[in-house]
Amino acid sequence: MALAAANSVVELREVLLKDKPADLTAVSPKATVPVLVLPDGQILEESLDIIDWALNQSDPLHWASGRTGATDWIQRCDGELKTWLDRYKYADQFPEASAEHYRQQAEQTLRHMENTFETSRWLTGSSASVADIAVFPASQSILWQQSIGMGLPVIVGDRSEFMVPSDASYLNRNGNLIVLDHEEETAPEIERLLRDLIDDREALAKMAEGARRTADEMLDWNKLIEETLRHNRGTGKQ
C-alpha cells in the first residue's frame, strides 16, 4: 500500500510459499514475504522497512507523520494479538490454557482498538498514518479471503464477533455463501450442508464460480489499493 501511495514503480511477483522459487531463496535466506529488492541490490525483508523506504521516497498523503505511534500498534497486532489468535485457533497444541482463555486475551487488544476508534477515525491522530496502513491487513478476516480467492463456497454464521460487519451477507455477492443463523450453527447441520454440496455437483460448481467472481470484485489487489488510496485522499466512499 505504501509503495502505491508513494508512486513507486515495482515489479510484483506472487509466491507460492509451499513451492518457493529459487529467485526468492537466492535473495532472502529466510524466504518469507514480503521481500523488496532495491536497485542498488539492498534487500528489505520486513513490511515496516518497506513502508519506511517507500515513504522516504515520497509521502504525498503524509502517512509518515504517525510513525512514532505506529510502532506500538504494530507490535500489538503483529506480536501479542497474532500470538493469542494462533493459540486460540490451535488450542489443542497449547494445552496449558483453554481456547476461551486465548480468545479473551486476543479480545483485549481488539477492545483497545475499538476504544480508540470511538474518538478517532484513525489510530494515531486526525488522519491516516503508517499505523493504519500497517495494521489494516491484520484487521481483516483472512480465512474467508483465502477461501473465496480459491473459488471455494463458504459456510458461515451470521454473528461472528471477528467479522465486521457482523452480518456476513455482504460477502454473498454472487451466491457463493451459505449463512447460518444461530440455531443452525450445529455440527449436524453443517455436516448436512457439506454432504448436500458434495452430492450436488451443479450447485457446488455455481457457488465456486460465484466465489471466483466475488474474488475478482472484492479482492483484486489493484482495486483494493486504488479504493483505499481514494478513501485516504477523501474522495472515496467511507
Task: Answer yes or no: are the C-beta atoms of 63 and 128 closer than 8 Å.
Answer: yes
Give the span between the Cα atoms of 32 and 127, in whole angstroms: 31
Is 227 among the domain residues? no
* 215 vs 138: which has the higher pLDDT: 215
Q: Supply the CATH number for residue 8's domain.
A: 3.40.30.10
* End position of a domain, from candidates 139, 159, 180: 139
**Mean pLDDT over all residues of the chain?**
82
Phi, psi of 72, deg, nearest 5: -65, -45
User: For residue 237, is it within any domain?
Assistant: no
Give me the mean pLDDT over the 48-70 stretch.
86
Residue 101 lies in a domain: yes
Higher pLDDT, 215 or 36: 36
The answer to whether position 8 is within a domain reads: yes
- How confident is the model at residue 185, as a pLDDT? 81
Note the pLDDT tens digit of each residue in 23-38: 888 988 888 888 999 9
- Of 40-49, 150-159, 180-189, the poorest mean pLDDT is in 150-159
- Please say which residue of 120, 139, 158 terminates a domain: 139
In a domain, 51, yes or no: yes
For strands 43-44 and 154-157, give the pairing.
unpaired
Q: Are 154 and 177 in contact (CB under 8 A)?
A: yes
The pLDDT value recorded for residue 75 is 83
Residues 101 and 167 reside in one and the same domain: no
Domain count, the chain: 3
Residue 121 lies in a domain: yes
* C-alpha cell of residue 9: 514503480
Residues 6+ apart with CB under 8 A from 211: 147, 148, 150, 151, 152, 153, 154, 174, 176
Full domain range(s) for residue 46: 2-57
What does the pLDDT look like over 108-133, one tens digit per residue? 888 888 888 888 888 887 888 888 88
CA distance 176 to 169: 10
At 143 the pLDDT is 66
Asked whether residue 32 is domain-assigned, the answer is yes
Kindly report whether the peptide bond that precedes residue 95 is cis, defined as omega within 30 degrees of 0: no
For residue 163, what pLDDT is reported?
46
* Percent of the chain's residues with pLDDT above 70: 88
HSE at residue 144, side-chain half, CA atoms within 13 A, is 23
Omega before residue 188 within 30° of 0, cis:
no
Domain limit, last residue, from 57, 80, 101 = 57
232 part of a folded domain = no
Weakest mean pLDDT among 62-66, 134-138, 172-176, 205-209:
134-138
The string of pLDDT tens digits covering residues 142-172 is 667 777 877 888 888 765 444 444 456 667 8
Nearest by Cα to 55 from 99, 109, 1, 18: 1
